[in-house]
């Protein structure tokens, strides 16, 4: 079999890792696919830029069309990032009957269905394992390993930057800004960390995961998003006193035919496996009706871990080429979109209140919750300075989001409540 030629769009951190793996693992690739794999052309923005990997300068071009239109290139690997311009490049590649491997979560979350449809129309593969959790093979596990099961819930830490920040805040007592700067200094956070700390990065990944896991087209706008910028050291301290660990959790849950997808800071019992996932690591907890509970853990970013996922997708493309089955792996979502409303979502909630330090306030608040059928699992009450105020920290039993939202409105209007300091969901506990 002739050598397979690949072209790269981008030669940054991940692209450099791909080049290293392809060049150093030729014997492994030859064994897997039965032929040599060569890098024919690499599109970059700046031809003079110093590279993280040694590469023949004759392979470099600043014209993407030299990759997209080269008839000798079989597979295009996209690791340049971006959305609209990159989408146009990949559509062009697919229409030129080139298979595509991408690590671009932003692109796949926004335009994934359109690109997959174009790939199928042109009998091309479009693989994107590296778009969700770096080196963790979660997409392949959902599509292949758990293909016969019915997934009911996926819950995970899918952003290394925010997990690093929360780890330093909870374990070391760091302030948010200090932990963020440390993450930036170590290369775990971008100079502009907005996509990470706002939860948007995690939301894009959860849209991709839930679309595959539930066989239902979930758009980015369907994901409820809340980031970590408002989390205080007091929130983390009280969480720990009550036996919880705070994590930015991506959650996708299905009950019957309806689903909910969200990204938000949530409290996990310290005994839960996700609670021990620290620093820049990622993990995804998957619940299946047949398999039960499984967890996928590993580095969520970095040059070689992410490049490993990219090259694994490349091997999948090459095996399909050898079998003559390219373009047949994409499965059209089986179910129409059906999202849960507030009345369909049930959870436990952590609530921290500053109230007037007067007799009967806690009793009145308890009565207010009980009117909606909501009771308390845990309660802390502590004095504040000045003494005319006190702090109440409570964790509810399970309640509907609809009822809880009404309670929050009542608390906001209650004259004895000076301020609702924070509210978080509690996940990972047995149903009570």
Task: Give catalytic residues, as residue numbers.
Answer: 205
> Residues 309-337, buried b or exposed e (16+ Cβ, 10 A)?
bbbbbbbbbbebbeeeebbebbeeeeeee
Q: How far apart are CA 258 and CA 63, in angstroms?
A: 46
CA–CA separation, 307 vs 315, rounded Å? Answer: 12
- Residue 75: closest CA among 56, 95, 93: 93
Give phi and psi for 89, each to the nearest 5.
-65, -45
Provide the CA 113 distance to its chain's centre, in angstroms. 18
The answer to whether the CB of 369 falls within 8 A of the CB of 353 is no
Q: Which two tokens stand for residue 116?
A: 């997959």
- Cα distances (angstroms) measured from residue 362 to each of 250, 357, 393: 33, 10, 11
What Cα–Cα distance (Å) separates residue 150 from each residue in 2, 53, 98, 113? 41, 43, 33, 21
Q: What angle do CA 326, 124, 205 make, to 5 degrees?
A: 105
Burial degree of 82 (CB within 10 A; 0-12, 13-18, 19+): middle
Q: The tokens of 104 are what?
A: 């671009």
In whole angstroms, give the CA distance from residue 133 to residue 302: 10
C-alpha 132/C-alpha 139 separation (Å) is: 8
DSSP for residue 369:
H
From the CB of residue 230, how many other CB atoms can be counted at a distance below 10 Å?
Answer: 10
Residues 6+ apart with CB under 8 A from 217: 113, 211, 333, 337
Residue 279: Cβ within 10 Å count: 16
Q: How many CA within 13 A on the CB side of residue 54?
A: 2
């Amino acid at each position: 079999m002739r050598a397979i030629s690949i072209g790269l769009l981008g030669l940054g951190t991940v692209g450099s890792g791909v080049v290293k793996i392809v060049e150093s693992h030729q014997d492994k690739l030859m064994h897997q696919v039965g032929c040599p794999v060569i890098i024919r052309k690499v599109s970059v923005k700046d031809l003079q830029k110093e590279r993280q990997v040694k590469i023949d300068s004759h392979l470099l071009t600043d014209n993407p069309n030299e990759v997209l239109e080269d008839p000798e290139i079989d597979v295009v690997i996209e690791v340049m990032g971006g959305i609209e311009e990159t989408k146009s490049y990949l559509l062009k590649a697919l229409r030129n009957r080139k298979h595509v491997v991408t690590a671009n979560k932003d692109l796949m979350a926004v335009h994934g269905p359109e690109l997959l449809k174009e790939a199928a129309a042109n009998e091309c593969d479009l693989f994107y394992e590296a778009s969700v959790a770096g080196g963790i093979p979660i997409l392949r596990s959902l599509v292949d390993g758990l293909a016969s099961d019915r997934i009911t819930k996926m819950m995970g830490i899918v952003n290394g930057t925010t997990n690093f920040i929360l780890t330093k805040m909870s374990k070391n007592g760091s302030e948010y800004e200090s932990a963020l700067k440390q993450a930036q200094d170590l290369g775990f956070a971008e100079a502009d960390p907005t996509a990470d700390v706002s939860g948007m990065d995690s939301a894009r990944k959860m849209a991709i995961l839930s679309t595959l896991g539930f066989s239902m087209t979930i758009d980015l706008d369907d994901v409820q998003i809340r980031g970590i910028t408002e989390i205080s050291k007091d929130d983390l301290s009280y969480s720990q006193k009550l036996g919880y660990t705070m994590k930015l959790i991506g959650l996708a849950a299905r009950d019957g035919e309806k689903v909910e997808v969200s990204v938000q800071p949530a409290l996990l019992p310290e005994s839960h496996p996700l609670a021990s996932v620290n620093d820049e690591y990622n993990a995804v907890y998957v619940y299946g009706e047949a398999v039960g509970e499984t967890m996928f853990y590993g580095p969520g970013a970095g040059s070689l871990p992410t490049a490993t996922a990219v090259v694994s997708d490349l091997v999948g493309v090459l095996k399909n080429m050898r079998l003559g089955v390219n373009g047949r792996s994409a499965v059209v979502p089986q179910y129409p979109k059906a999202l849960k409303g507030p009345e369909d979502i049930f959870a436990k909630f952590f609530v921290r209140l500053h109230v007037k330090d007067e007799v009967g306030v806690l009793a009145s608040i308890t009565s207010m919750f009980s009117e909606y059928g909501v009771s308390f699992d845990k309660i802390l009450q502590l004095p504040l300075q000045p003494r005319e105020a006190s702090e109440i920290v409570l964790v509810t039993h399970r309640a509907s989001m609809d009822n809880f939202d009404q309670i929050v409105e009542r608390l906001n209007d209650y004259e004895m409540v000076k301020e609702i300091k924070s509210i978080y969901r509690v996940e990972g506990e047995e149903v009570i």
